[in-house]
Amino acid sequence: MNELVKALKNFVVRDIIYIIGGSSVIVSFLYLFNKTDIHGKEIHTAIYILIAGLAYIIGYCIQDTASWIHIVTTASFFKPWRSLIWFYERFLHRKWKPIFSDIEGEDRRNKILERLDQAELIIQEKVSLDNKTERERIISLMHMGTTMGPCSFVSGILLLIKAFVDGNCTFRFNITLAVSVLIISGLMIVLAWIKALELMKNTEGLYNSYKNHRFREYD
């Protein structure tokens, strides 16, 4: 029962992020065409539900597209580049070491992926609740970055277009808003990559701890 409640909680949290990300794009799009002067009383409840559903789809599509073209990643394993390692070490104040360094050979990537799959099963069945909670926090923060980063980027581009379309009357406000959103987008994307690295290290750490009997299982 506890596992079901936890699964539902994680599902709701991640879906809300999709809705928020998609909503930011919708609002920016409406602002571009000066359609934001809509009063709540004029909108039926069914329209709110429809908008939330549309926002969810937009948020999900933008995140997956961004992952597909490698703006962000949702992969369980990837080889980080030097600049990302630099950000990781500055952010977490720890030295980066490649995961599962004991695995060698030409087929190293596939072997690591197999071990990560094993680690996921161990984490689901054997890891303590505290360790799971910390892991879910990392996943949630990564998910926030992989969704809100690209969605903020799209919103920033729409706001940038708005700034040049409107001209001098509101240019300063719109350009400041657009640049601010784009900066936030960049930061969110970098944080998403950092959290992806942190998740890999967390998975490796829990796997090694289990294999070396350094933590107790829970009932």
- Supply the pLDDT for residue 68: 95
| Rg (the chain; Cα; Å) | 21
pLDDT in tens, the chain (219 residues): 455 455 556 667 778 999 999 999 999 999 999 887 766 566 677 788 898 999 999 999 999 999 999 999 998 888 899 999 999 999 999 999 988 888 887 788 888 989 988 888 888 888 777 888 889 999 999 999 999 999 999 999 999 999 998 877 788 899 999 999 999 999 999 999 999 999 999 999 888 888 776 554 443
Task: Look up residue 48 and give its two tokens.
Answer: 């709110």
Among candidate residues 71, 76, 73, 133, the one with its CA nearest the CA of residue 99: 76
- Supply the pLDDT for residue 77: 87
Length of the chain (residues): 219
Please, which residues have CB within 8 angstroms of residue 122's CB and are 6 or more apart in sequence?
A: 206, 207, 210
- Supply the pLDDT for residue 219: 36
Report domain extents, the chain: 2-211
Question: Distance between CA atoms of 170 and 167, rounded to whole angstroms?
Answer: 7
- Supply the pLDDT for residue 71: 96
Among candidate residues 2, 22, 36, the one with its CA nearest the CA of residue 132: 2
| Helices 108-126 & 129-166 angle (0-180, nearest 10) | 120
Mean pLDDT of the chain: 87
Question: What pLDDT digit, counting tens, does each position of 133-144 carry?
Answer: 889 999 999 999
169 within 8 A of 201, measured Cβ to Cβ:
no
Measured CA angle at 13 (ends 10, 18), to 5 deg: 125
Question: What pLDDT digit, counting tens, does each position of 141-190 carry?
Answer: 999 999 999 999 999 999 999 999 887 778 889 999 999 999 999 999 99
Buried b (16+ CB within 10 A) or exposed e, 89-118: eeeeeeeeeebbeeeeeeeeeeebeebbee
